[in-house]
Chain A
Amino acid sequence: MPNMSKTRNEMPAQAPDVRNKNFKEVTLGYSEEQAIDEAQRCLNCKHKPCISGCPVQINIPAFIQKISQGNYEEAYQVISLTSSLPAVCGRVCPQEAQCEKYCVRGIKGESVGIGRLERFAADWHNAHPVGKIERPEPNGHKVAVVGSGPAGLTCAGDLAKKGYDVTIYEALHLAGGVLVYGIPEFRLPKSIVQKEIDTLQGLGVTISTNTVIGRSISVEELMKENGFEAVFIGSGAGLPRFMNIPGENLNGVYSANEFLTRINLMKSYQENSATPILPFKKVAVIGGGNVAMDAARCAKRLGADDVYIVYRRSEEELPARREEVEHAKEEGIIFKLLNNPIEILPNEKKFVGGMKCIEMELGEPDASGRRKPVEKPGSEFVLDVDCVIVAIGTSPNPLIKSTTNGLATEKWGGIVVNPETGQTSIEGVYAGGDAVTGAATVILAMGAGKTAAKGIDEYIQSKKN
């Protein structure tokens, strides 16, 4: 008998006024009882509408059935057929816009907690290792992967499982991409990412950190001089955008990337970190996506009294995951919606002294289908802040494009690929993830890494014959 409760099992979490002072994971995960109870809410629908919402088509009812039967490892194996990073995606997928959006239980109540169950299965698997990883038989072919974000890690993993000799080149000193330098510990513990990386190394993948492709070595040299038959570019979309308003270069104005990198990658929240962050008290974060929520919640945890999200549209348009918005509110982040910054004002020491904003209202729908925000004349006001974090988006870094002859890109910098195979305009060179789509999601980057791994395998195998 299915569990017909209209509401899902609540996710155990640290209390808001406790967690907003520490960097430990906010949500604690279902217990076995909760997971089984939640799994029993799934109706195992014939048409499986939830699957169509998952970018990598995980067989959702199948893995949920396994959980309801207590076969957690089997549940994990079902997910593994199509996804490489379930412990990550179960935590960070925008489920309400993907799988859970289509769940029939959502029509007359809350949808099944698919992401939470996915996380449960993955965490169970990680906590109960099933023996050593078998190294596949080498097939004698070498592939290079640029960037160690979810796209690169997935592509490398899939190829390594087929016996390829894979080397990942990463510009930073640590592998993981946005998963380590962007998304904070309290939302995605770094030990989970490290586990994925250990697994790859167990499969024989070499990770060369501190190597900037395009500077230390070019894509062309990888293929011509280093014997790689194919290269996958998963370099992400790491170039921060600024607003181009007066005062943006004042001390105390950070890009979200810089702010989050100082905190997550360089661990400036720890006592012994050598990388500093200013001891600000009143922080404005500009933007309404996951990045903005992460920056705001980090600022709060570092001891800021007032943290504002300044976003020019309304609550409905906030692009962040629903859960992050709710968590941010519970933690005391103040939402200044329908407001747009127009100038950052200096104090006498040339640090941030305030931010001038103007109120907005929603007008006609724009190209994105969302109602376009327009300024309300005469509504300017000054927000009293000493730190401003700009989280209005990122674009692909031009470094690889500018150092790779013949690599076709869109005007805004995205690499052009064949969506079926991931191949770029250059034979043997593949790409995927944010480098192709612009800033998107972990699951899409992972899916692109899988597509390209398949494309690369077919390319190399066809060359052999």
Chain B
Amino acid sequence: MYKIIKKKALNPTVTLMEVDAPFVARKAEPGQFIILRVDADGERIPLTIADFDREKGTITIIFQIVGATTEKLNHLNEGDSIHDFVGPLGVASHTEGLKKVAVVGGGVGCAIAYPIAKKIHAQGAEVHSIVGFRNKDLVILEDEFRKASNRYFVMTDDGSYGEKGLVTDALKKLLDAGEKYDEVIAIGPLIMMKFVSKLTKEYGVKTVVSMNPIMIDGTGMCGGCRLTVGGETKFACVDGPDFDGHKVDYDEAMARAAIYKDFERHSYEETCNLFSKEVI
């Protein structure tokens, strides 16, 4: 059992939790993830390691409430325990030798992008962060990102905060202004990563994306997380989650992400009924 030390709502649908997991904290690196089960009958879901404290032995996760399991997780409070919590899984993000990067985060993807931005910034590199949200109420990790970036841009779909537009608009502006990045790191919805990669390909800038297919074991045993990268089948949980953004087959990944849509909608509604909450 893994105890929740701290819980904080970052916005109405995104929650931060700090969890006591010394075995995971000892080895965790930015870019890696954990898999958890909320209770003994629970589904295994992957979440990125948003932060870690080796001394305290804790791992921070930040999750968006999108379905039954994240809803159940959000019903746990400080002092409660998570049934299973395994990690760190996946390959850590490669950050060595980077001098100047653009970090692009979309929605809850910012939670995944933040520890990487922080690490690269701490290495002394120049970090330009571009984050996008649907509206002002959904903005998360602003202070954290500002601290970890030399330049910080917020984009919202409706213009209620920062600038109105998409993250690709802001990135294009910077590239057109002559900014030269060693690497663009894009993390967010598949559709966002697809279009960032399309843009950076035109500019010939290396791009890394973090893929989040449906996973079960996270150890390379089931192959459920497979995707096509440069024409080859890769397992995101052991070969990734980071991949060359110019080589990923996004259309296939988007189709695979929707496999259980109908089923999940149903179980989400059931969970919400269980907690007698309106389905948003």
Please report A residues at the B interface, Cβ cutoff 8 Å: 171-173, 181, 209-212, 215-217, 238-240, 242, 244, 248-252, 254-255, 257-258, 261-262, 266-267, 272-276, 278, 350, 397-399
Contacts and interface: CB of A to CB of B under 8 A. Distances in A.
A251 B43 contact: no
B224 A238 contact: no
Contacts of B143: none
B43 A217 contact: no
A171 B26 CA distance: 17
B220 A251 contact: no
B219 A216 contact: no
B87 to A, nearest CB: 7
Contact of A258 (B27, B222, B260): B222
A217 B27 contact: yes
A171 B237 CA distance: 13
A275 B223 contact: no
A278 B255 CA distance: 14
A352 B135 CA distance: 38
User: Range of interface residues on chain B?
Assistant: 35 or more
Interface in B16-39: 23-24, 26-27, 37
B222 A211 contact: no
A274 B83 CA distance: 15
Interface in B234-253: 238, 252
Nearest to B227: A249
6 tightest Cβ-Cβ pairs between the two chains A and B: A274-B43, A258-B222, A210-B86, A255-B223, A238-B221, A173-B84
B259 A211 contact: no
A261 B222 contact: yes
Interface string B86-108: 11110000000000000000000
17 contacts: A173-B37, A210-B86, A211-B23, A216-B26, A238-B221, A249-B227, A249-B228, A251-B258, A257-B223, A273-B43, A275-B43, A276-B260, A276-B263, A276-B264, A276-B267, A278-B260, A398-B220
Contact of A239 (B24, B44, B88, B221): B221
Contact of B220 (A238, A242, A266, A278): A238
Given A171-B217, A258-B223, A276-B260, A212 B86 contact: yes
Contact of B217 (A172, A215, A244): A172
Contact of B222 (A252, A255, A278): A255
B68 interface: yes
B79 interface: no
A171 B264 contact: no
B238 A399 contact: yes
A352 to B, nearest CB: 11
B216 A266 contact: yes
B89 A215 contact: yes
B69 interface: yes
Given A181-B221, A212-B87, 12 more contacts: A212-B89, A215-B89, A216-B23, A238-B219, A240-B222, A249-B227, A250-B255, A255-B222, A261-B217, A273-B43, A278-B260, A278-B263
A397 B68 contact: no
Contact of A210 (B85, B223, B255): B85
A278 B263 CA distance: 8
Contacts of B55: none
Given A209-B84, A215-B89, A248-B233, A399 B219 contact: yes
A113 to B, nearest CB: 34
A250 B255 CA distance: 8
B226 interface: yes
Contacts of B217: 171-172, 261
B42 interface: yes
Contacts of B252: 249
A172 B233 CA distance: 24
Contacts of B258: 251
B219 A258 contact: no
Nearest to B267: A274
A261 B219 CA distance: 13
A281 to B, nearest CB: 15
Contacts of B69: 274
Nearest to B88: A215
A173 B220 CA distance: 15
B146 interface: no
Contacts of A267: 41
B134 interface: no
A216 B220 contact: no
Interface in B35-92: 37, 41-44, 68-69, 83-89
A254 B85 CA distance: 25
Interface-centre pick from B23, B42, B43, B217 (highest chain A CB count, 10 A): B217
Interface-centre pick from B27, B42, B222 (highest chain A CB count, 10 A): B222
A407 B107 CA distance: 43
B256 interface: yes
B246 to A, nearest CB: 19
Given A266-B43, A274-B42, A274-B267, A397 B259 contact: no
B88 A216 contact: yes
Contacts of A250: 255
Contacts of B226: 242, 249
A250 B238 CA distance: 20
Nearest to B224: A258
Contact of B221 (A244, A261, A276, A278): A261
